[in-house]
Amino acid sequence: METLIEVHGLEKTFTLHNQNSARIAVLNDVTLSVGSGECVALVGPSGAGKSTLLRCLFGNYLASAGAIRLRHEGRWVDLPQSAPREILALRRSTLGYVSQFLRVIPRVPTLDVVAEPLRELGVETASARERAAALLARLHLPERLWHLPPATFSGGEQQRVNIARGLIAEKPILLLDEPTASLDAANAERVAELIDEARRRGAAIVGIFHDTEIRGRVATRLHPVAVEKFEAVA
Amino acid sequence: MSAQHGDRAAAAKTPGPLSQLAGKGGGAPLLRVEGLSRKYGGRIGCSDVSFDLHAGEVLAVVGESGSGKSTLLQLLATRLALDAGSLHYQITGRGLVDLSALSEADRRWLMRTDWGYVEQNPRDGLRMNVSAGANVGERLMAVGARHYGEIRSTAKDWLQRVEMDPARLDELPTGFSGGMQQRLQIARNLVTRPRLVFMDEPTAGLDVSVQARLLDLLRELVTDLGLAAVIVTHDLAVARLLAHRILVMREGRVVETGLTDQVLDDPQHPYTQLLVSSVLQV
């Protein structure tokens, strides 16, 4: 099994400069290694830093210390050491992220929102849309919604759009933040099937799954995230 | 240079392929900025600003009024003289060229063809006493287009591209709404297929609904044409939607820079934290 994610001694401390420079240590010495074909579920109470860890892995939060090495196009890339354009290249072809909430782009129809990651990889518009349609159909998103922007959709509909967008490009590393939180059991099961498929084709997956049933269904391993929060001594 | 003019005029007619350049690989930057400084009397306009901009990259410069962001834009576009520092630009076939060493003719050619500059107030970027079509066609003629019918049809195409009614080709921009004037200014700038566009608060003077439409249009155009752009804005939502990278300025200096979503979601500098936390959530 090839290792695709390697985290060593990761620390994340937020310094709130405008609130008396309060320092909040969220992650302390996190070490994690995830291989191709694994789905690692982060477990721990609310506020333990599970989402913070995912955001650090995506380069959305800046690591305070430590290494985050990701396998990208046959070589290792250390995320905290990478320039913005290298991180964008990594996200384009290697690193997928399904956030809890869809950040809506005004006016862009759902089909194009979902097709965009493929378009960024150079796939032609028509075939990108075709694959987007197939994925949305699998997720049972009503076809009448495909040509509307997702801004006015329900929570569960938006979440399925978000999942389709995150999974369509079949990236080798996937980060999933509560991908089934607003879905009913039937739709959650469809998402679980897609996660299984991604894993079987060799993706390394790190996820947060609040629902223990879904977690048990998709995770191959659990990784505890401990509450480390404390006011660091100035 | 005349061959180059011809190529550009030809290229301007057909939409290019979606650019895949942004953020890819290594290679020389399109624009290299080193130690840029400018004072107004004893006051600092801009101090020691350095960055590289690559082809297809969109950089947002954010900060409050008086932070030096507009001064920086004017320095970059060679509209203001530098007190210190240097600017290098990748000219096709010539490599990275020191812009201060460029002849006046070359510099003007660059500004008319390979660069665009979108003013905050469209009246400053348009010629208000000639028709919409002429506003677009003029830049085409600067790159050597001479065939009247072709210039007209290209101008028409561009009006459509910026979602304007092509039937208004022969009208003066004075009769257009602010949003239409801004879209016309964008068409005028992009018709020569520039590689680098400077934008100064392109959506600031517009109603919110018009703003969203324009932003969306800009986002599409920037992606489809693979433009590199430097966008000055005080609006963090504009930066989030359009820019790959962000540069935060305060009192003429860069206080923080990085990937757009990282700077906005995990700001490091006290000033950036203040800016981000001051935005009203809708």
How far away is chain A from the Cα of B162, in angstroms, using its nearest Cα?
15
Residue A26 in contact with residue A84, Cβ under 8 Å? no
pLDDT bracket for residue A172 (50, 70, 90): very high
Sign of CA dihedral B136, B141, B143, B147: positive
Q: If you measure CA to CA, which chain B residue comes closest to A125?
A: B18
pLDDT digits 0-9 by tens, B15-55: 333 333 333 345 789 999 999 999 998 888 999 999 999 99
Q: Which of B95, B53, B245, B66 is nearest to A84 (CA)?
A: B245
- A1-94+171-234 classified as CATH 3.40.30.10: no
So what's the pLDDT on residue B206?
Answer: 81
Does residue B127 fall inside a structural domain?
Answer: yes
Q: Chain B residue closest to A52 (CA)?
A: B266
CATH for B191 = 3.40.50.300
* Contact of A199 with A170, CB cutoff 8 Å: no
The answer to whether residue B272 is domain-embedded is yes
Nearest to A5 by CA among A175, A194, A204, A142: A204
Q: Is B127 helix (H, G, I), strand (E, B) or coil?
A: coil
pLDDT, one tens digit per residue, over A139-168 is 999 999 999 999 889 999 999 999 999 999
Enter the ipTM: 0.93
Alpha carbon B38 to chain centroid distance?
Answer: 21
- What residues of B are in contact with residue A14 (Cβ under 8 Å)? 266
The encoded tokens of residue B196 equal 């680098």
**Rounded Cα gap, residues A89 and B22, in angstroms:** 8
- The distance in angstroms from the start CA to the end CA of chain A is 43
In a 3-state reduction of DSSP, which class is residue B59?
Answer: strand
**SS3 (DSSP) at A179:** coil
- A149 and A143 Cβ atoms separated by less than 8 Å: no
pLDDT attached to residue A116: 92
Interface test mutation site (partner B, options A17, A77, A85, max chain B beta carbons within 10 A): A85
Q: Residues A169-174: what's their mean pLDDT?
A: 98
Selected residues 65-104 of chain A with any CB under 8 Å from a CB in chain B: 84-89, 92
Alpha carbon of B236: minimum distance to chain A alpha carbons (Å): 15
Residue B8 lies in a domain: yes
Q: Is A23 exposed, middle or buried (0-12, 13-18, 19+ CB in 10 A)?
A: middle
Q: Which helix (H) or strand (E) holds B90?
A: strand B84-91
Contact A84 B244 (CB under 8 A): yes
B282 within some domain: no
Determine the distance in angstroms separating the CA of A154 from the nearest CA of chain B, rounded to an integer: 18
List, for chain B, all residue ranges whose pLDDT scores fall below the cut of 50: 1-25
User: How many H helices and E strands in chain B?
Assistant: 11, 10
Give the list of residues 6+ apart from residue A124 with CB closer than 8 angstroms, or none: none
Interface A:B, Cβ pairs < 8 A: 66
pLDDT value at residue A227: 72
User: Can you name the residues that pair with B277 across neighbouring β-strands?
Assistant: none
Asked if A106 has any chain B CB less than 8 Å from its own CB, the reply is yes
Domain count, chain B: 1
- Evaluate whether A67 touches A31 at the Cβ level (below 8 Å): no
Burial class (CB in 10 A: 0-12, 13-18, 19+), A3: middle
Comparing CB atoms, the residue among A55, A84, A105 nearest residue B245 is A84
User: Which sequence spans correspond to the domains of chain A?
Assistant: 1-94+171-234, 103-170
Provide, as residue numbers in chain A, all residues whose Cβ is less than 8 Å from the Cβ of B242: none
Q: Which run of H or of E encompasses A155?
A: helix A155-167
Specify the pLDDT at position B9: 41
Quick one: average pLDDT of A213-231? 85
Question: Would the CB atoms of B266 and A62 count as touching at under 8 Å?
Answer: yes
Cβ separation B262–A60 shorter than 8 A: yes
Domain holding B135, by residue range, is: 2-19+26-277
3-state secondary structure B157-222: HHHHHCCCCHHHCCCCHHHCCHHHHHHHHHHHHHCCCCCEEEEECCCCCCCHHHHHHHHHHHHHHH
